[in-house]
Amino acid sequence: MSVVENNKIYRILAVDDTPDNLILVQTILESEGYEIDLASDGIKALRQIDQSPPDLILLDVMMPGIDGYEVTRRI
């Protein structure tokens, strides 16, 4: 079941380089009815955002390569 308000299903993008963190966030938020997209690094996050912008982004700051600050700047 998805969280729907005014016929809109809310999607959240979670970005983290630690797989366990992504699984935890996904499990909790899906149980609340949100649609969750996952990305394991900044480049993948930017691609997903470009293809299908989410309603909310949960973004890790400290990641190898492009960190969360750089992802935010590019958004």
Band of pLDDT at residue 6, cut at 50, 70 and 90? confident
What are the structural domains of the chain?
Answer: 4-63 (3.40.50.2300)
Strands (DSSP E) contained in the chain are 4-5, 8-9, 11-15, 35-39, 56-59
The string of pLDDT tens digits covering residues 16-52 is 999 999 999 999 999 999 999 999 999 999 999 999 9
Q: In this structure, are residues 3 and 48 in contact, taking their beta carbons and an 8 Å threshold?
A: no
Residue 1 has pLDDT above 60, yes or no: no
| Confidence (pLDDT) at 14 | 98
pTM of the model: 0.89
Total residue length of the chain: 75
